Amino acid sequence: MVGHHLSTGTNQIERFNPLDFKAKIHIQIDKALTMT
């Protein structure tokens, strides 16, 4: 549940901060783990 909240927040930040692109990859992995 917390991961979902983080993914939404990071998604918005990633749009403004290209440096957070790495965070996007982290969210992708987090989503995969949550789906499993």
Kindly state the average pLDDT of the residues 3-9: 53
Q: What HEC string does the chain produce?
A: CHHHHHHHHHHHHHHHCHHHHHHHHHHHHHHHHHHC
pTM: 0.35
Q: How confident is the model at residue 10 (pLDDT cuts 50, 70, 90)?
A: low
Domain count for the chain: 1
Residue 29 has pLDDT above 70, yes or no: yes
Give the residue numbers spanning the domain of 14: 2-35
